[in-house]
Structure 1
Amino acid sequence: MEAAERTKTEPSNATHLCVLVHGLWGNPDHLAYIADALRDKYHEDQLHILIAKSNSGNFTYDGIETGAERVTQEIEETIAKLERDGSKIKKISMLGYSLGGLVARYSIGLLHSNGWLDRLEPINFTTFASPHLGVRTPILGYQSHLWNLFGSRTLSMSGKQLFGDDTFRDTGRPILCVLADPSSIFMQALSRFKHRTLYANIINDRSAPYYTTFITKIDPYINLDSININYVKGYAPNIIDPANPVSLKPEAPPPTVLGQIAGTGQNLLNNAPFYAAMSLLLPLGTTAYLVNAGIQSVRSQNRIKLHESGQAGVGLGNYRIPLMIENARSAVEGTFGSMNSSNLEYHAAGTGATSESFSDVHDEKMILNERSSSTDLVCTPSSAQPKFPALNLSPDQFEMIENLDKAGFKKYAVHIQNVRHTHAAIVVRMKQRRFDEGKLVIKHWLDEEFEI
C-alpha cells in the first residue's frame, strides 16, 4: 500500500530508526539533503528518519553533554511515539555532522547506559566532518596561540570543549578525552555498532580540518602539488581510495629566481580583489562576531543553568549516570591535564620535535610499537605508503587517536575541489549547484556503507 493511501492511524512497517544530528550553529535544514537521499532510497515502510531539532541554532553553544542529553530525550520520545502508533523499532543508526558527530557519540553512550542498545540492534554510526580530536590548530606560533585562546572563549561551553579547555564533571579531564576512553560508556556503545564510518575533507575545511575529522597523526594533503591522489572506482574525483590513497610525484626542479618573482607577482595580482575585500570586511566582521559571541555566551550559560537545575524540560535523572564501565580505573589515569592558556605548545608524541615520520594511516590496520622511549610511537602499516611527518598534536590528542583507531572506524578522505566551503559541501548543506560534489559523497555512503 502506498503512503498516500495509508490512513493516519495505520502504522508503518519500518523497524529501523536513523537519527541525524546537525552541527554548530546548525538546524535540521542542514541535513535535509541527506534525509531526502535516504528517503529516495528507502521507503517510509523501510526506514524512519529523525532529524534532531532540540539543539537548533545557538543552542549548540551549550556544550556536548547538554546537547546530547536533549537529543537522547528526543530519540526516546520519538521511539515511544512510533510504538504508540503501532511501529515496532528494532534497529537504530546515528549520523552526526560536524559538532553533531560528538553529540552523537555522547548520545549513544546514554542510550547504551539506559539499555536501549540491548533492546535495539545498533547498525550504522557515521560522522561527516566531525572534529573528533577537537579544533585546536597544531601549528606553532603566536597566531595559533591567539586563535586557540580566542576560539575557546567565544563559543561558550562548546568552545571550551572543542579547544580542550574544559574539565568534564569530576573526571579532571576534557570531555573529548572521556569520550575516547576505552572504559567509558561512550566507547562501549560505539563498539556495539555494526558499521562505524567517517568522512573527512582533505582541504578547505575551515571549521574542522582533516587531522581531527580523519582522526590521524599526519596530513599527506598539505601540499597537493607533491602527490598523486588515487580515487575509489566510480567515485572519482571525490572519494579517495583508503587502500592506496596517494603516491609521491617525482621531485620537480626548483624554479628560477625570475620564475619565483613572476609567480609571486601573478598570485598577488590574482588575489588583489580578495585582499581588498578582506581589509574592509574583516574588522567589521570580527567586531560583529565578538559582540554576538558575548551575547550568545551569556544566553548559553543561562540555558545551561536551567538545564542543570532540571527546569529545561530534560529529565536529567535518566542521563546523569556513571561514565565509566570499569569503576576501578582512576578517572584521571592516562590524562595529561587540561589544556589552558599557559600550555599551548604541541609536541610530536612528547618528543618536542616534529622529525618523526609516520606512514600514511589511511589503512586502519595500523600497529603502534614502543621504541627506545616509551613516549615515542611509530606506525607500521600493512602496506608500504609514502611517509609524512607527524603533526604537532597534544599528548591528549595522540591518546585519543590510539583509542579511537582501536574502535575500528572505516575512514574515507573526501576531495571536494570546486568550492572552498568544503565543510558545507560534504553534506550538501544547502541545495545549491556549487555543493553538487557532496552528492557523490552521500551516494557513496548510501550505496557502499549504509545498511538498512
Structure 2
Amino acid sequence: MDIHLHVLLHGLWGSTKHLEPAVCVFSARHCQPNSDSELVIESQNQVQLLLIEANQDSRTYDGIDWGAERAVEEIQEAIRKISSEGDRVTKFSITGYSLGGLYARYVLAIIYAKHFFDTVQPMNFTTFATPHIGIPDVKHSLFSYLSRYVGSRMLGNTGKQLYCFDRWGKTGRPLLEVMADKDLVFWKALNSFQNIDIYVNAVHDRMVPYVSGAFELLDPFEAHIDDIQVEFHSHYFPMLKSWTLSDDRENKISSSCSEHFETWKPLPFMGPFIQWNFPFNLILMALFPIIIPVVIVLLPITLALNTRSSGFRVKSLERASMSAQEKLAQIFATLDHTMMDMLEQPTPNNTSTSTTPDTTSTVAEVKTTPISRKQPPTAITSNLSAAQQRMVVDLNQLPVRKHLTWIHPTRNSHAIIICREKDQFPGHALGEGVLKHWADHFTT
C-alpha cells in the first residue's frame, strides 16, 4: 500500500498533547484511528499521522538543529516500520506549531540532502504561529528588552537561535538566517513542496509577532486594531477574508479626556478564573495568593535548571557524535560542493538588501484569494535587524500562501490558533475554524 506520511511537531515547552485538537480535526476529515499505535493513525486514503515525541518539554531547549535531528530519527523509524509491514511511503507532508515549524524546516533540509524526495513526493508544508525570522524587538519596550535578555540566556541553545544571538558553525551567521537563504538547501527543500501554507495571528500573539509569523517587514494591524473592519471566511471563523479601515476613522472628533483614558483599559483577562471549568476555577482562585509568590520564585529557578540540563545534554550529544551543524555540513558536501562553500562563507558586510518596506505584500492569503483592504497610512515598523530583513526577502520568494486569523479581543492568541488546550480553557475552541481550513485544504 502507498502511504502518505504526515508529520506533526509541537512548540516550545510543548508535548504531543498540545497537538491533540489538531489531530482530532484532521482525523475527522482524513483518517480513521488505528488502535495499534498512538503515534501513527492509519486512514482510508492512506494518510498516516506521526506525532514527534522526542522533543517534549525541556528538550525543546536543546536547539532547532538537535531537535530536528531527533525528529528525523523518529521519521526514519516510522518509515522502517511502514516498510516492514509491506507498505511504502510515496508522499510526505509536515506541519509545525510555533517552534515546531522551525524544526520542520530543518528536518526538510536533512531529508532533502539525503535524497529522500527522489522517491517520495513532497506535498504539504504547514506552520501555525511560527517565528520564521525569530523574535524581533518589535516595540522597544522594557518588557521587550527583558524578554530578549532572559529568553536568549535561559532557553538554552533554542533561545539564542530564536533571538538570533547564535553563530551557526563556520557561517558566522544566525541559524535562522542560514535557513532562510534561498541559495541553500533549507530554502530549496521547502521550495520543493506542492503546497506551502502559513497560518498567522494578525493580532495579539504575544509569543510570535505578526512580522515573524508572516515574514513581513511591517505590521499593518497593531496600530489600527480598533479602526479595522474585518470580514471572516463564512466556514472558517476566525480566519480573515478581507479587512478595511473604518471609513469614519479620519473624521473622528478628538475625544474627551475620560474617553481617551477609557481606551487605555486592558483587554479582558480570559484567564483560568473565567475559562477553567467549575470547580477548578474556584479552587485556583482560593489558592491564588499562595501560587503567585511560589511561581515568582520557582519560574526563574526552573528556567535556569532546564537550561543547565539542556547544556549538559547537548554536550553529551556532541561527544557521542559530531555536532548537528557538522552532520548537516557532511551531508551537504556529498550533495553539492558549491552549496557547501556558500554555507561556510559568512555573509559579506556589503550585502545589498533593500530596507524599504513593501506594504503591498501584506495580504491575508498570498497567491490564493484576493483580499479587499485599504492599507493603513502608517504601519508599525518592527526594528528588524539586517539579517531579519534578508530573511523576509528570501522567504517571500517561496510560493507561499499566507492565511491570517483575527482573534480579538484576547490577551494572547498564540495557543488559540490550534485550540491548544481547549479542554482546560474553553476559549481556545475559537481556533477550530483555522484547523478545519487546514484539514479541508490538505492535499492527499
Separation (CA, whole Å) in 2 of partners of 1:172 and 1:93: 31
1:305 corresponds to 2:315: yes
User: What's the counterpart of residue 5 of structure 1?
Assistant: none
- Compute the displacement of 1:169 (Å): 1.0
Distance in 2, Cα, partners of 1:269 & 1:117: 47
Q: Which residue of 1 aligns with 2:284?
A: none
| Corresponding residue of 1:321 | 331
C-alpha distance in 2 between matches for 1:124 and 1:185: 18
| 25-34 vs 102-111, which moves further | 25-34
Q: How has the CA–CA distance of structure 1 residues 142 and 16 changed in structure 2, closer, same or farther, with 3 Å as cutoff?
A: same
Deviation track 1:6-30 (CA, whole Å, cap 9, x = no partner) reads xxxxxxx451000000110111111
Q: Which moved more, 1:97-106 or 1:31-40?
A: 31-40
Q: Which amino acid aligns with 1:392?
A: N
SS at match of 1:260: helix
Task: Please tell me whether the aligned partners of residues 220 and 360 of structure 1 are also in contact (alpha carbons under 8 angstroms).
Answer: no
Q: Are 2:178 and 2:343, in contact at CA under 8 Å, matched by a contact in 1?
A: no
More helix by proportion, 1 or 2?
2
SS state at 2:87 partner: coil
Deviation of 1:208 (Å): 1.4
CA contact (8 A) 1:24 1:60 kept: yes
CA positional deviation for 1:157 = 0.4
Q: CA–CA distance in 2 between the matches of 1:120 and 1:185? A: 17
SS in 2 for 1:230: strand
**Unpaired segments of 5 or more residues in structure 2?**
32-42, 274-286
Contact 2:416–2:428 (CA under 8 A) maintained in structure 1: yes
Match of 2:438 among 431, 438, 445: 445
Contact 1:15 1:48 in 2 (8 A): yes
What is the percentage of aligned positions where both structures have the same residue? Answer: 30
CA distance in 1, matches of 2:219, 2:73: 38
Distance change >3 Å, CA 399–CA 248, structure 1 → 2? farther
The SS at the match of 1:200 is strand
Q: Which residue matches 2:103? A: 103
Give distance in 2, aligned partners of 1:318 and 1:145.
33
Alignment of 1:200-279 (within 5 A): 200-222=200-222, 223-236=224-237, 238-241=238-241, 244-251=242-249, 252-260=252-260, 263=262, 267=265
- Residue 29 (structure 1) aligns with: 17
> One-letter code of the match for 2:411?
R
Alpha-carbon offset, residue 232 of structure 1? 2.6
1:403 and 2:416 are equivalent in the alignment: no
Change (3 A) 1:248 1:406: farther
What's the offset of the Cα at 1:332? 4.3
Alpha-carbon distance in 2 for matches of 1:175, 1:198: 20
- Checking the alignment, whether the CA contact within 8 Å between 1:203 and 1:415 is kept in structure 2 is yes
What TM-score, normalized by structure 2, do the two folds share?
A: 0.81
AA partner of residue 304 (structure 2): G
Q: How far did residue 229 of structure 1 move?
A: 1.6
In structure 1, what residue type is equivalent to 2:438? Answer: W
- Stretch of structure 1 that moved more, 169-178 or 227-236: 227-236
- 8 Å contact kept, 1:201–1:423: yes
Question: Where in structure 1 are there 5+ consecutive unaligned residues?
Answer: 1-12, 338-347, 367-380
| Pair 141,336 (structure 1): closer, same or farther in 2 beyond 3 Å | farther
Cα 1:412–1:311 change in 2 (3 A) is same
CA spacing shift, 1:283–1:184, aligned 2, 3 Å: farther
Please list the CA deviations of residues 86-108 of structure 1 after superposition, one character each: whole Å capped at 9, or x if unmatched. 11110000000000000000000
- Could you tell me which amino acid in structure 1 is paired with residue 295 of structure 2? G
Aligned residues: 402
Q: Distance in 2 between matches of 1:382 and 1:230?
A: 9
1:349-405 deviation line (CA, Å, top 9, x unaligned): 669xxxx78346117779xxxxxxxxxxxxxx9997444333221111111011000
- Which residue is equivalent to 1:42? 30
**CA 383–253 in structure 1, closer or farther in 2 if over 3 Å, else same:** closer
Deviation of 1:446 (Å): 1.3
Q: Distance in 1 between matches of 2:300 and 2:62?
A: 17
* Partner residue of 1:388 out of 378, 381, 386: 378
Question: AA paired with 2:391?
Answer: M
Distance 1:83 1:177, change over 3 A: same
Match in the other structure for 1:199: 199
Larger RCO (CA within 8 A; separation ≥ 6): 2
SS of match in other structure, 1:32: helix
The SS at the match of 1:436 is helix
Q: RMSD of the TM alignment (CA)?
A: 3.4
| Residue number in structure 2 paired with 1:83 | 83
Residues 245 and 362 in structure 1, CA contact (< 8 A), matched pair in contact too: no
Give the secondary structure class of the aligned counterpart of 2:431: helix
Change (3 A) 1:269 1:451: closer
Deviations 1:390-440 (A, max 9, x none): 322111111101100001210011112375342111111124232111111
Which segment is superposed worse, 428-437 or 44-53?
A: 428-437
The CA deviation at 1:231 is 2.3
Give the Cα separation in 2 of the matches to 1:421 and 1:123.
Answer: 31
CA distance in 2, matches of 1:24, 1:84: 33
3-state DSSP of counterpart to 1:148: helix
How far apart, in 1, do the equivalents of 2:300 and 2:317 lie?
A: 25
DSSP 3-state at the match of 1:131 = coil
CA–CA distance in 1 between the matches of 2:6 and 2:246?
40
- Counterparts of 2:84 and 2:267, CA distance in 1: 65
Cα drift, residue 200 of structure 1: 0.9
Query: Secondary structure of 1:362's partner?
Result: coil
Residues 286/154 of structure 1: CA separation in 2 closer, same or farther (3 Å cut) = farther
